[in-house]
């Protein structure tokens, strides 16, 4: 199963694509999308167009997006939420199911502890996807989201699909 992981951000949106065959994972591609434009609408459109291109190029079968949490800056949180909406919308436009995971769940799945640091995430992603040339911390986080989905969500998706086929 080909999985797209997304680490949403308004300036930098990380993405990573992996293949999961049973418990075996392999790296396909990763990168960071940089929003362009002077106003919010143009920046969101830029992310939408770039993420659409990623889905066209790599044709994932499922996707996963990291949850965001409210921080002290309410306006910043709202803008991040809008970028996250793009991360949810684009896969949905392709008819792809999207899993959502809290940052602590991603860290616990990939590193083993829910409060892991960026460096620990990067290290464990590289351990699980040997030979991957990771574009940066946002891409490493996106690959971690994809890995989390491979272990948690993709199995549930396969079970759901099997139940639907059996019921048809």
The 10s digit of each residue's pLDDT in 79-89 is 888 999 999 99
Q: Which domain holds residue 16?
A: 2-167
Q: Is 66 a catalytic residue?
A: yes
Element (H, E) at 5: strand 2-7
CATH of the domain at 94: 3.30.420.10
Q: Is 73 a catalytic residue?
A: no
The 10s digit of each residue's pLDDT in 100-123 is 999 999 999 999 888 888 899 999
DSSP per-residue letters across 29-82:
EEEEEE--SSSHHHHHHHHHHHHHHHHHHH--SEEEEE-----S-HHHHHHHHH
pTM: 0.89
Of residues 114 and 161, more confidently modeled: 114
Q: Is 141 a catalytic residue?
A: no
Among 61, 138, 141, 160, the active-site one is 138
Count of domains for the chain: 1
Provide the annotated binding site for Mg(2+).
Answer: 7, 66, 138
Confidence of residue 165 (pLDDT cuts 50, 70, 90): confident
């Amino acid at each position: 199963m080909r999985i797209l992981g997304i680490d949403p951000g308004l300036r930098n949106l990380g993405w990573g694509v992996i293949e999961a065959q049973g418990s075996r994972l392999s790296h396909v591609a990763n990168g960071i999308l940089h929003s362009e434009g002077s106003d919010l609408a143009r920046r969101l459109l830029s992310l939408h167009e770039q993420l659409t291109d990623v889905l066209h190029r790599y044709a994932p079968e499922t996707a996963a997006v990291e949850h965001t949490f409210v921080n002290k800056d309410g306006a910043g949180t709202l803008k991040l939420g809008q970028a996250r909406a793009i991360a949810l919308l684009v896969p949905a436009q392709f008819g792809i199911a999207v899993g959502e995971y809290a940052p602590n769940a991603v860290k616990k799945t990939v590193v083993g502890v829910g409060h892991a640091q960026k460096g620990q995430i990067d290290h464990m992603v590289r351990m699980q996807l040997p030979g991957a040339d990771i574009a940066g911390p946002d891409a490493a986080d996106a690959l971690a989201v994809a890995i989390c989905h491979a272990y948690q969500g993709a199995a549930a998706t396969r079970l759901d699909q099997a139940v639907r086929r059996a019921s048809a």
